[in-house]
Amino acid sequence: MGQRLVIDIKDFRGNCLANAYYHWSGYTDSALELTSVILNAHMDGDIKKKVEKERNQFDKVLYAVKLLEVTNAGLQAVKNGEDSKSELEVMQSRYPHIVFNKDKNRNDGLICVTEDEMDNSRNYEEAHVDIFIDSEVVDFYVFCDADDETISYNIWDDPDEIDEDVYNKKIQEYKDGLDDIGKTIGINPEEIPFDKFDEFSNAISNANHSFKINGDIYEKIE
**pTM for this one?**
0.94
Q: What is the pLDDT of residue 182?
A: 81
Q: Could you read off the pLDDT of 8-33 as tens digits, one per residue?
A: 999 999 999 999 999 999 999 999 99
Q: What is the pLDDT of residue 185?
A: 82
Q: What is the pLDDT of residue 184?
A: 82
Phi (first) and psi of residue 195, to 5 degrees: -75, 0
Q: What is the pLDDT of residue 2?
A: 56
Does pLDDT of 83 surpass 80? Answer: no
Q: 57 to each of 62, 135, 206, how far by Cα in Å? A: 11, 19, 41
User: What's the one-letter identity of residue 80?
Assistant: N
Q: Could you read off the pLDDT of 93-139 as tens digits, one per residue?
A: 999 999 999 999 999 999 999 999 999 999 999 999 999 999 999 99
Strand runs labelled E in 39-91 = 74-75
- Judge whether 91 and 77 are in contact, CB under 8 Å: no
pLDDT exceeding 90 applies to what percent of the chain? 87
List, as one string, the DSSP characters of 162-199: S-HHHHHHHHHHHHHTS-BHHHHHT--TTSEEGGGHHH
**Half-sphere exposure (Cβ direction) of 208: Cα atoms closer than 13 Å:** 9
Does pLDDT of 84 surpass 50? Answer: yes
Would you call 184 helix, strand, or coil by DSSP? helix
pLDDT exceeding 70 applies to what percent of the chain? 99
Does pLDDT of 1 surpass 50? Answer: no
Mean pLDDT (the chain) is: 94
